[in-house]
Amino acid sequence: MTALETTTARRTSLRDYYQSFMSRRASLIPAFAAIAILLLLFIGAEILLRGDFIAPRNISALLLDNAYLLVLAVGMTFVMVTAGIDLSVGSVMAFTGIWLAKLLAAGMSPVIAIPLILMGAALIGLLMGVLVQYFDVQPFIATLAGLFLARGLAFVVSLSSIKVEDSAVLWLQSTRFRLGSWYITPTGILALLVVIVGAFVMQFTRFGRTTYAIGGNEQSALMGLKVARTTVAVYVISGVCAGLAGLVLTAYSGAGYPRNGVGTELDTIAAVVIGGTLLTGGRGYVLGSMVGVFVYGTIKTIISFMGAEQSWMQIIIGALLLVFIVIQRAIVARSDRRS
Amino acid sequence: MRRIVKSRLFWPVAALILLILINTIARPQFVRITFQDGRLYGALIDILRNSAPLMLVSLGMTIVIATRGIDLSVGAVMAVSGAVALTIIDGSADPNSLGTVIVALVAAILVSLVLGMWNGLLVAVLGIQPIIATLVLMLAGRGVALLITGGFITTVNSSPFEFIASGYTLLLPFAFFISIAAIAAVGLAERRTALGVLTEAVGINPEASRLAGVRSRSIIWTAYAASGVLSGIAGVIYASNIRAADANAAGQFIELYAILAVVLGGTSLMGGKFSVAGTVVGVFIIQTLNSTILFLGVPSAQSPVFFAVVVVIVVVIQSPHLHRLTRSLIRSIRTNQTPEANGTTTNGESAGEESTSDVEVTV
């Protein structure tokens, strides 16, 4: 950013504009950086793979393959904006996924089974929220308990994978609404709906403003805002999102597997951080997290296109995470100096 | 008596003794130790042996948590360290020579030190939140380990290397002596020198200790470096135990168990005051609980449910909110009683209750 400053220094009007933009919209910069990285990735892949990459088929598959991560990221954004963290999402996703598969295998109708698993996920979220809010437990530890609980419960439901035969759940995945070579599955629509609802709630409701206030400034949060209720609610939201992700993943893979989603909480946190949400809370956008998920998914696609080893995926995501937290650190340091 | 109960170690030790008692009643062979070929065998000896990797990692985690930090990368460092050691042994002409194994161990520990220093750099110099700074390595570390092993599970047959986890010296497993050495090293460095006090000062108030002339940056850096080295040794023990470098399974979830051990031992996650002895007891509690769960015939995959319950109980007991609640409950019970009825006995009782709630605060 210092490099940017020196180039604009010669033209004062531009510099003024840049400075006022930076001070007013500093929290948007990481989100813009994520979009820039996403575009760069697309252009780079297009050149590297000689025009094979930017195809409707690939971009449609991006949404299809990462629908579960997108749903998880929306819930995680809520929690992280309150300066919390939710480590349990991967395990809750595995638990609800295998539970759903088991219920369906036992002949239960999905109309009952799906609300049931969502309620189970919400209960785990509620437990963690209550621990955080009413027992002063650090979010890290409370959700760690959630991680252990849900992972163990997943194995209690079944030690091996269970195939899903239910036509309604499989419909979510197999149906493709086509427009030319573009397509979208019901799971993709579900994920996008979650993003839209999440973005709307965060930006345009009292609940969303309270969420930002809790993470941003505890004192302002005291001024008549329902802090306790909101804090518990964000963990319930994240739990429900993890439950939905379990449904999406089970539909996607056609089976429930108790070992699913080990380490997915880290991928989710990485995607949300890349999308511009600050770990210190108070800043972040659901739409930014969506961009973060697409950055993650694009890197994954490029790696499999190049036939490189998957171990590079972990290294690149780690490096990208590092770059983004250093950028965020610089932005926070700047705005702290201003205020 | 009051002093014993008030001690920070009282509750962890009581929990450990209770756990051992329950096990002994449920299966008398639990405490039986047999002597064979100059070696001791038994469930308790197994606990001593198997706890070594978690012990080392938890000791490092204790120091890091004391500086108000956290190290999520310990499992990944274990994976890298095991991968480095086994790749060197595997590639050498003579895997059975002691020299090769020593070279491999030194290389593995040096790499772990570098990884620990990297974490320290991010936290102490760049000022990044510890959770996120170490998350970077937690994500990337396993990728690095996979690259080192070439994506395979490297296996070796090297008797000096296998000795680390399964060998015996002086009746007891060699791995247990590694634990003892690590406990002694950390205990002496932190409790017989000023380092421990300085670490606590940094954890309680980094800014004030900096103003008071404590070089907090280098103390934090050292803590992460120590955690890296200890995790590296733990990785070697793990690899020696399974005679293979498994980049995905090595040290999986160990960061969570280590944090749990530290918290069980009475060290607050808010940093500051820490207890090395408490962590040691915490590790034994976890290992005994693990052995109990296995004995109950629960598949090991389901054991996280038990640990979740333990975490919830521990954090709820530690919670100040619960203490306020119990105190007001005690008060309301006392005011409901008639003044004639509560003579000296009630006073004695209430004093007892007061002291237990005090203990809970110090836990």
Write out pLDDT tens, residues B67-90: 888 898 999 999 999 999 888 888
pLDDT attached to residue A80 = 92
Let me know the angle formed at the C-alpha of B272 by B268 and B277, rounded to the nearest 5 degrees: 65
Q: Which residues of A touch B308 (CB under 8 A)?
A: 145-149, 152
Instruction: Looking at the structure, tell me whether residues B327 and B353 fall in a common domain.
Output: yes
Average per-residue pLDDT for chain B: 80
Q: Which of A6-20, B189-203, B320-334 is predicted with the least confidence, judged by mean pLDDT?
A: A6-20
Distance between CA atoms of B59 and B56, rounded to whole angstroms? 5
Alpha carbon B213 to chain centroid, angstroms: 30
Q: Do B306 and A152 touch (CB under 8 A)?
A: yes
**Greatest CA span in chain B, whole angstroms?**
88
Distance between CA atoms of B321 and A196, rounded to whole angstroms? 37
Low-confidence ranges of chain A (pLDDT < 50): 1, 8-9
The shortest C-alpha distance from B127 to chain A (Å) reads 8
Instruction: Looking at the structure, tell me whether residues B89 and B230 fall in a common domain.
Output: yes
Tell which A residues from 184 to 223 touch B, by Cβ distance under 8 Å: none
DSSP B125: I
Residue A117 vs residues A143, A246, B51: alpha-carbon distances, Å: 19, 9, 37
The backbone region for A209, taken as left when phi is positive above 0, alpha when psi lies in -120 to 50, beta otherwise, is: alpha
Distance between CA atoms of A313 and A17, rounded to whole angstroms? 38
Q: Do A317 and B140 touch (CB under 8 A)?
A: yes
Task: Answer yes or no: are the C-beta atoms of B107 and A61 closer than 8 Å.
Answer: no
Q: Do A155 and B312 touch (CB under 8 A)?
A: no
Q: How many CB pairs under 8 A join A and B?
A: 128
Q: Do A140 and B304 touch (CB under 8 A)?
A: no
Q: Do A314 and B131 touch (CB under 8 A)?
A: no
Task: Answer yes or no: are the C-beta atoms of B221 and B69 closer than 8 Å.
Answer: no
Q: Do A325 and B131 touch (CB under 8 A)?
A: no
Q: Examine the pLDDT at B341 and tell me if it is beyond 50.
A: no
Could you report how far apart the first and last alpha carbons of chain A are, in Å?
19
In this structure, the dihedral spanned by the alpha carbons of residues B64, B67, B72 and B77, taken in order and rounded to 10 degrees, is: -40
Class of domain A29-338: mainly alpha
Question: Where in chain B does DSSP place strands (E)?
Answer: 34-36, 39-41, 154-155, 168-169, 172-173, 244-245
DSSP B51: T
pLDDT attached to residue A24 = 62
Q: Examine the pLDDT at B345 and tell me if it is beyond 60.
A: no
Q: Do A141 and B269 touch (CB under 8 A)?
A: yes
CATH label of the domain that carries residue B187: 1.10.3470
Instruction: Looking at the structure, tell me whether residues B325 and B286 fall in a common domain.
Output: no
Distance between CA atoms of A118 and A243, rounded to whole angstroms? 5
The shortest C-alpha distance from A276 to chain B (Å) reads 14
Question: Using CB atoms, which residue from B139, B312, B322 is nearest to A318?
Answer: B139
**Amino acid identity, residue A49?**
L
Q: Which long-range contacts (CB under 8 A, 24 or more apart) does A323-326 make?
A: A324/A30, A324/A33, A324/A34, A324/A273, A324/A274, A325/A273, A325/A279, A325/B128, A325/B132, A325/B133, A325/B136, A326/B126, A326/B128
Instruction: Looking at the structure, tell me whether residues B205 and B255 fall in a common domain.
Output: yes
Instruction: Looking at the structure, tell me whether residues B223 and B343 fall in a common domain.
Output: no
Question: Using CB atoms, which residue from A159, A312, A322 is nearest to B301?
Answer: A159
Q: Which residues of A touch B128 (CB under 8 A)?
A: 325-326, 329
Question: Using CB atoms, which residue from B140, B252, B305 is nearest to A156?
Answer: B305
Question: Using CB atoms, which residue from B126, B256, B321 is nearest to A134?
Answer: B321
Instruction: Looking at the structure, tell me whether residues B288 and B347 fall in a common domain.
Output: no
pLDDT attached to residue A18 = 67
Residue B359 pLDDT level (bands cut at 50, 70, 90): very low
Domains of chain A, by residue range, sit at 29-338
pLDDT attached to residue A22 = 62
Residue B7 pLDDT level (bands cut at 50, 70, 90): low
Closest Cα in chain A to B137: A318
Q: Examine the pLDDT at B325 and tell me if it is beyond 80.
A: no
Residue B357 pLDDT level (bands cut at 50, 70, 90): very low
Domain extent for B104: 2-318
Distance between CA atoms of A34 and A324, rounded to whole angstroms? 9
- CB-based contact, A136 to chain B, within 8 Å: yes
Tell which A residues from 227 to 286 touch B, by Cβ distance under 8 Å: 258, 262, 266, 269-270, 273, 279-280
Residue B162 pLDDT level (bands cut at 50, 70, 90): confident
Q: Do A326 and B126 touch (CB under 8 A)?
A: yes
Using only C-alpha atoms, chain B has a radius of gyration, in whole angstroms, of: 23
pLDDT attached to residue A77 = 94
Q: Examine the pLDDT at B178 and tell me if it is beyond 80.
A: yes
Closest Cα in chain B to A136: B319
Distance between CA atoms of A321 and A55, rounded to whole angstroms? 27
- CB-based contact, A147 to chain B, within 8 Å: yes
Expressed in percent and rounded to 5, the helix, strand and coil fractions of chain B are 75, 5, 20
> Best interface-test mutation with A: which of B80, B268, B293, B312 has the largest number of A CBs within 10 A?
B312
Distance between CA atoms of A241 and A250, rounded to whole angstroms? 14
Instruction: Looking at the structure, tell me whether residues B34 and B159 fall in a common domain.
Output: yes
Instruction: Looking at the structure, tell me whether residues B311 and B346 fall in a common domain.
Output: no
Q: Do B315 and A145 touch (CB under 8 A)?
A: yes
ipTM of the complex: 0.73
pLDDT attached to residue A335 = 64
Let me know the angle formed at the C-alpha of A94 by A89 and A99, rounded to the nearest 5 degrees: 125
Instruction: Looking at the structure, tell me whether residues B116 and B149 fall in a common domain.
Output: yes
Distance between CA atoms of A190 and A321, rounded to whole angstroms? 27
Q: Do A135 and B133 touch (CB under 8 A)?
A: no
In total, how many domains does chain B have?
2
Q: Which of A87, A92, A111, A113 is nearest to A102 (CA)?
A: A113
Instruction: Looking at the structure, tell me whether residues B325 and B291 fall in a common domain.
Output: no
Q: Do A309 and B320 touch (CB under 8 A)?
A: no
pLDDT attached to residue A244 = 94
Query: β-strands B39-41, B34-36: how paired?
Result: antiparallel
Query: β-strands A177-179, B168-169: how paired?
Result: unpaired
Cβ within 8 Å of residue B313, ≥6 positions away: none
Question: Using CB atoms, which residue from B140, B147, B302 is nearest to A156?
Answer: B302
Question: Where in A121-171 does DSSP place strands (E)?
Answer: 162-163
DSSP B41: E
Question: Using CB atoms, which residue from B138, B141, B315 is nearest to A141?
Answer: B315
pLDDT attached to residue B233 = 93
Task: Answer yes or no: are the C-beta atoms of B54 and B260 closer than 8 Å.
Answer: no
Tell which A residues from 109 to 128 touch B, by Cβ distance under 8 Å: 127
Instruction: Looking at the structure, tell me whether residues B243 and B336 fall in a common domain.
Output: no
Residue B95 vs residues A304, B157, B242: alpha-carbon distances, Å: 36, 7, 16
Q: Examine the pLDDT at B355 and tell me if it is beyond 50.
A: no
Task: Answer yes or no: are the C-beta atoms of B285 and B12 closer than 8 Å.
Answer: yes
Let me know the angle formed at the C-alpha of B317 by B316 and B318, rounded to the nearest 5 degrees: 90
DSSP A164: -
Residue B292 pLDDT level (bands cut at 50, 70, 90): confident
Higher pLDDT, B344 or B35: B35
Instruction: Looking at the structure, tell me whether residues B82 and B8 fall in a common domain.
Output: yes
**What are phi and psi for residue B34, nearest 5 degrees?**
-105, 150
pLDDT attached to residue B295 = 80
Per DSSP, what are the bridge partners of residue A182?
Answer: A179
Closest Cα in chain A to B118: A322
pLDDT attached to residue B206 = 77
Task: Answer yes or no: are the C-beta atoms of A144 and A84 closer than 8 Å.
Answer: no
Dihedral sign, CA of B169, B171, B173, B179? negative
Q: Do A136 and B321 touch (CB under 8 A)?
A: yes
